[in-house]
Copies of this chain bind each other. A is one copy, B any other.
Amino acid sequence: MAEQRQMHLGLIVMGAGNHVAGWRMPDAEFGSENFALLRRIAESAEKAKLDLLFFADAVNTGLNAHPGMMLRLEPLTLLSALATCTRRIGLAATVSTTYTEPYNLARMLASLDHISQGRAGWNVVTGSSPDAAPNFSREKHPPHAERYAMAAEYLSVMKGLWDSWEDDALRGDKANGTYVDPNKMHVLNHEGPFYKVKGPLNITRPPQGYPVIFQAGASEAGRDLAAATAEVVFTVQQDLEEAVAFRTDLRRRAVLAGRNEDAIKVMPGVCPVIGDTLAEAKARITELAELADPVAAMKVLSDRMGQDLSNFPLDGPVPELPPSDMMQGHAVTLAAVARRSRMTLRELRDFTAASSGHRVICGTAEMIADDLQIWFDSGAADGFIIQSTHYPAPMDVFLSSVVPILVQRGLFRAEYKGTTLRDHLRLERPDHPAAI
């Protein structure tokens, strides 16, 4: 009998709450710099056997934005700290390829993978905010196409650096005095249009070969890069049919790129809002909307759309704007939602405030489990990246009510089987090129 296909669940943690007003809820503990809270979140998610924790990131701040996007712990230090408080759950974070040297990042991710014994994941982004460049002695953020060309080269440099040493290079043979086997070392000598990196890396190959590669781009360039290189695609999907089409398209592109279609896992973001009744859940989202700071909410929307919308009439239609150089895929999805539902700008703003544009599902635990199952069974998703409007209560409710239903239906694991993030996601460990 074939084993039942199971879904993957990640938790995207924003310590201030994913809803722009989450932190203001009476039962909210908050703070994207509150390590004690983040640690408890990680422990709870692991207890429920989730595949992974996911931390978004940016290398700039701004006033009047989502609180969790203004101030936060840096993700690689944070994940390393969480690695010692947990034993199994995967640990993934966004790091931009535009503002970090590949040698430094390859080391840090390898180090995290060693410290966590094979649980690191890296969400490759090219950096979407033009506000970052002036923090890095640069005049301008590079344009979209160039950022993607840089990212593709960057990724190949990273893999080359991770392959600096074959898996069994470290010998530690006391009798012979052989610490490493020099024949198992490979000097990269990369010279490309954007990077010149000699290598080798000063750390052995990560336990997972490479950390699991995540991507979130949905533009044409983003899809192509994902099809060629991503193992998990974190995506904004509001419509079941469109989500099925998106996943089908990505799997098709992966095959065209010479990969197995199951080597790429599509995980849309979802924000469940759970009540004992549907009415109670809806009341909760209304309560949150009423607490939202309209300026911060508009900043979240503007960032997502890639252009400032604060000067358009709130009760008019969502303005038709030319495609932005930032966040093309995300902007297209949001614009489609607004068009389909004939939203005013105010409505779209409040909609985006809840979950940065990801799908919000209100209902009882059973209704939410049904919804996730429908998406999963329809081929719209290999799993979901779960948001929590705030912490810890709504997350605890999801973990203790929805997850057990999914387990009971055989849709989610009751226990971890493997130890690495690749094990959880059923992704193959990449062989070292010398072993192929």
Contacts and interface: CB of A to CB of B under 8 A. Distances in A.
Given A71-B170, A293-B177, A182 B63 contact: yes
Interface stretch (A4-12, A75-83, A233-241, A326-334): A75-83
A115 B177 contact: no
Contacts of A70: 179-180, 202
Nearest to A32: B203
A196 B83 contact: no
A104 interface: yes
A35 interface: yes
Given A100-B101, A197-B136, A204 B71 contact: yes
Contact of A201 (B23, B61, B196): B61
Interface string A118-157: 0000000000000000111110000000000000000000
A59 interface: yes
Contacts of A197: 134-137
A357 interface: no
A67 B201 CA distance: 14
B35 A77 contact: no
B23 A179 contact: yes
Nearest to A131: B198
Contacts of A177: 21, 24, 291, 293
Given A23-B172, A101-B99, A196 B137 contact: yes
A76 B74 CA distance: 11
Nearest to A178: B293
A424 interface: no
Interface stretch (A105-113, A260-268, A375-383, A402-410): A105-113
A174 to B, nearest CB: 5
Contacts of A165: 71
Contacts of A60: 202
Contacts of A78: 80, 111, 115
Contacts of A108: 74, 76-77
A199 interface: yes
Contacts of A83: 81
A33 interface: yes
Contacts of A73: 111, 114-115, 203
A30 B99 contact: no
A35, A136, A179 — most chain B CB neighbours (10 Å)? A179
A168 to B, nearest CB: 13
A199 to B, nearest CB: 7
A21 B172 CA distance: 11
Interface in A156-179: 164-165, 170, 172, 174, 177, 179
A416 interface: no
A273 to B, nearest CB: 19
Interface in A172-195: 172, 174, 177, 179-180, 182, 185, 195
Contacts of A115: 35, 73, 77-78, 81
B136 A103 contact: yes
A137 B188 CA distance: 13
Contact of A198 (B114, B135, B199): B135
Contacts of A174: 23-24, 26, 28
Given A80-B80, A135-B197, A138-B196, 13 more contacts: A16-B179, A24-B174, A24-B177, A28-B174, A35-B114, A61-B164, A61-B202, A74-B108, A77-B108, A81-B83, A103-B136, A134-B198, A177-B291
27 contacts: A24-B174, A28-B174, A33-B170, A33-B204, A59-B103, A61-B164, A61-B201, A61-B202, A70-B180, A70-B202, A71-B203, A71-B204, A73-B111, A73-B115, A74-B104, A74-B107, A74-B111, A76-B76, A76-B80, A77-B77, A77-B80, A81-B115, A84-B84, A84-B85, A100-B101, A134-B197, A177-B293
In the complex, the 6 A-B pairs of residues with the closest C-beta atoms, listed nearest first: A61-B202, A134-B198, A74-B111, A77-B80, A80-B80, A67-B179
